[in-house]
Amino acid sequence: MSGVAFAKLKLYLSTGKSKSEGVEPGMKYPPEPFKIKVVEHISRTTREEREAEMMKAGYNVFNIPAEKIYIDLLTDSGTSAMSDNQWAGMMLGDESYAGSRNYYHFERTIRDIFGFKHVIPTHQGRVAENLLFSTILHKGLVVPNNSHFDTTRANVEYNGGVAIDLVNEAAKDPNKILPFKGNIDLTKLAALIEKVGAEKIPLGMLTITNNSGGGQPVSMANIRGTSELLHRHGIPFFLDACRFAENAWFIKTRETGYADKSILEIANEMFSYADGCTMSAKKDGLVNMGGFIALNDDALAQKLTNRLILIEGFPTYGGLAGRDLEAIARGLVEVLDENYLAYRISQVARLGDRLEEAGVPFLKPTGGHAVYLDAKSFLPHIPQNQFPGIALIVELYLHAGIRAVEIGSLMFAQKDAETGVVRYPDLELVRLAIPRRVYTNSQMEYVGENIIEIFEARENLKGFELTYEAPVLRHFTARMKPVMV
C-alpha cells in the first residue's frame, strides 16, 4: 500500500490504543450486562449420535437439524436474543396496513441515529440492496466497496454492475495487527475513478464493519476520506450499515478524539458523511428479521418506494409486521448502550485471547462479531483440494457439538471453464460467528477449550472430497466424504 492511505494507517497505529487501555480495572472482560429471564433448552448429544448425524448430513453442517447442535456459531445474523423491552414492544404492534404507529417510531428512531430523510423498511438487508441496485445499475457500471458482502456482490452483478473490492492490502495478512483493517485503500479508489470515469460509478460504498474481511472496523478518518473523494467527483456515498454500532465502538476505543463521544454521536458523524445506507436489522438491529434503506435523495427515494410496493409492500411496513418495526426501533436504541458493546466486543476478543495463549492460529485482531480460525495454518498437512476448513468444521461438531461455517475452498475455489484448472482462495477460514446476547461467557469458554483440544490432536484430522456439488453456491448443499489414505 502506498500514498495517502499508508500515511493515514501509520497515524492510526501510533495513536491506536492497546486492547486493555481505557478499560476500568478488573473489567478487561466486562461480564454480561443483563440477567436471564427466559431460557431455551439446548441438547448435549453423544459422540455416536453426532457421528450418525454427520454421516446423514453428507459432512455438511448446513444439513444438520439445529436441535442437534449444542453451540451454534453458524451466523450472527437473525440469531440475536431480544430483550424484555423489545418483547413488550411486540405486544404494542399496530397492524394497520397504512400508517402504523410503529412505523413512525421506526422512522423517528432511524432519523435520530442515521440522520437520513427517507426511511424505507424491507424484510431483510438484501431487499434494500435489491431495490437500490435494480434502480441505479445497468450494464457497464462499477460499484467500489472495501469488501462487498456476498448478497451485495450478487445484487450488483445480477443487475449488470461490476463489484470491485478495494480493501487495504494489510488486511489480507491474517497476522498483521492493525486497528482498522476494514479501511478502503483511498489511493486505489482514486485510481479506479480515474480509470473508469466518475460517470460509470453510480455510487461508492463502505461496509461497516467489513463482514467479508473478518468483521474488521473502518475508521472515521477513512469514512470521511471516502466521502470527500467520492463527492469531489460527484459520486454518491452509501454505507452498508449492518454492524454500525460495533464499528462505532471500535472508533470510540481506537481512534484519537472519540474516547469521550457517545456511540450515538459517533454514529451521527459516520452517517453525516454519507448520502444513504442499506441495513440488515438482523445484526445490530438486535432482531430476528428486518432491514431498511435510508437516504436523502428525494427522486431516488420515490423510485425505490414505487418498487418497494411491487416487491415488499406498502411503504409504512415494507414486508414487516407492525410489531417487527417496533422491535427494530427498540433494538436500534439498545445496541447503542456502551455496557452492551463493551461486553459484546470483549466476548469475541476473549475467545481470541484464549486461542492465542494456546497458539491456535486465527485472523488477527478479532473483529466485531466473529473469530475466524486460520484452517490452512491449523491443518498444514491437509492440502487445499481436500478442504482443510471442512475438516476442522466436521471435527468441531463431532468433538463438541459446535457448528461453524467454512469460508474457504468449498465456498470460493473456482474451476476455469476452459483450462479446468482450479483457483484456490488465499485464505482457508472457519468462522465462529457469535450471536448477540445468546451465549454466556462460560459457554464461550467451552468453545475455546474444545478448539484447543482439537488443535492439540490436529495431526489426526483427515481431508475431504466432494460426492455432490451444485453448479452455483455449492457450499450450501454439497455432500462430502472423508478422503481414504
Ligand X SMILES: *Cc1c(COP(=O)(O)O)cnc(C)c1O
Q: Assign residue 42 a region: left if phi > 0, alpha if psi is -120 to 50, beta otherwise?
A: beta
151 interacts with ligand X by CB under 6 A:
yes
Antiparallel, parallel or unpaired: β 429-433 and 405-407: antiparallel
Looking at residue 391, its amino acid is A
For ligand X, which residue of 83, 207, 216, 219 counts as binding (CB under 6 A)? Answer: 207
- Of 213 and 388, nearer to ligand X (C-beta) is 213
- Of 238 and 387, nearer to ligand X (C-beta) is 238
Q: Which helix (H) or strand (E) holds 294?
A: strand 291-295
Question: For 434-477, where are the E strands, in sequence order?
Answer: 464-468
Contacts of ligand X in 72-91 (CB under 6 A): 77
**Span of 133-141, 278-286, 308-316, 395-403 interacting with ligand X by CB under 6 A:** 278-286
Quote the least distance from Cβ 49 to ligand X, whole Å: 31
Quote the least distance from Cβ 133 to ligand X, whole Å: 12
Quote the least distance from Cβ 243 to ligand X, whole Å: 7
Instruction: Compose the 282-321 pattern: x for residues touching ligand X by CB under 6 A, - for all others.
Output: xx-------x------------------------------
Antiparallel, parallel or unpaired: β 162-165 and 204-207: unpaired
Residues facing 121 on adjacent strands? 292
**Span of 250-258, 267-275, 280-288, 376-384 interacting with ligand X by CB under 6 A:** 280-288
Quote the least distance from Cβ 207 to ligand X, whole Å: 5
- Of 282 and 436, nearer to ligand X (C-beta) is 282
How far is residue 234's CA from residue 203's CA, in Å, rounded to a whole number?
A: 9
Task: Report yes or no: 436 and 344 within 8 Å, Cβ to Cβ.
Answer: yes
For ligand X, which residue of 107, 240, 284, 406 counts as binding (CB under 6 A)? Answer: 240
Quote the least distance from Cβ 325 to ligand X, whole Å: 15
Instruction: Compose the 152-191 pattern: x for residues touching ligand X by CB under 6 A, - for all others.
Output: x---------------------------------------
Residues facing 122 on adjacent strands? 291
- Of 211 and 386, nearer to ligand X (C-beta) is 211
The count of residues interacting with ligand X (CB under 6 A) is: 15
Q: Assign residue 51 a region: left if phi > 0, alpha if psi is -120 to 50, beta otherwise?
A: alpha
For ligand X, which residue of 211, 222, 316, 366 counts as binding (CB under 6 A)? Answer: 211
Quote the least distance from Cβ 319 to ligand X, whole Å: 11
- Of 77 and 296, nearer to ligand X (C-beta) is 77
**Span of 34-42, 197-205, 277-285, 458-466 interacting with ligand X by CB under 6 A:** 277-285
- Of 125 and 435, nearer to ligand X (C-beta) is 125
Backbone angles phi, psi at 80, to 5 degrees: -65, 155
- Of 68 and 282, nearer to ligand X (C-beta) is 282
How far is residue 89's CA from residue 287's CA, in Å, rounded to a whole number?
A: 12
**Span of 148-156, 381-389, 463-471, 476-484 interacting with ligand X by CB under 6 A:** 148-156
User: What b/e readout covers 354-381, taking b as 16+ CB neighbours within 10 angstroms?
Assistant: bbeeeebbbbbbbbbbbbbbbbbebbee
How far is residue 409's CA from residue 423's CA, in Å, rounded to a whole number?
A: 9
Contacts of ligand X in 97-126 (CB under 6 A): 124-126
Question: Residue 234 burial by CB count (10 A; 0-12/13-18/19+): exposed, middle or buried?
Answer: exposed
Quote the least distance from Cβ 205 to ligand X, whole Å: 10
280 interacts with ligand X by CB under 6 A:
yes
How far is residue 69's CA from residue 237's CA, in Å, rounded to a whole number?
A: 41
Contacts of ligand X in 409-428 (CB under 6 A): none
- Of 9 and 154, nearer to ligand X (C-beta) is 154
Please count the other Cβ atoms lying within 10 Å of the Cβ belonging to residue 309: 11
- Of 125 and 463, nearer to ligand X (C-beta) is 125
- Of 122 and 409, nearer to ligand X (C-beta) is 122
Contacts of ligand X in 123-142 (CB under 6 A): 124-126
Quote the least distance from Cβ 76 to ligand X, whole Å: 8
Contacts 24+ apart (CB under 8 A), 55-58: 58/467, 58/468, 58/478, 58/479, 58/480, 58/481
Peptide bond into 79 cis (omega under 30): no
Quote the least distance from Cβ 61 to ligand X, whole Å: 19
147 interacts with ligand X by CB under 6 A:
no
How far is residue 467's CA from residue 60's CA, in Å, rounded to a whole number?
A: 11
- Of 137 and 360, nearer to ligand X (C-beta) is 137
For ligand X, which residue of 59, 106, 149, 397 counts as binding (CB under 6 A)? Answer: 149
Residues facing 164 on adjacent strands? 144
Antiparallel, parallel or unpaired: β 162-165 and 142-145: parallel
Angle at 341 between CA 214 and CA 343, to 5 degrees: 95
Quote the least distance from Cβ 242 to ligand X, whole Å: 4
How far is residue 169's CA from residue 188's CA, in Å, rounded to a whole number?
A: 10
Please count the other Cβ atoms lying within 10 Å of the Cβ belonging to residue 387: 28
Residues that bind ligand X (CB under 6 A): 77, 124-126, 149, 151-152, 207, 211, 240, 242, 280, 282-283, 291
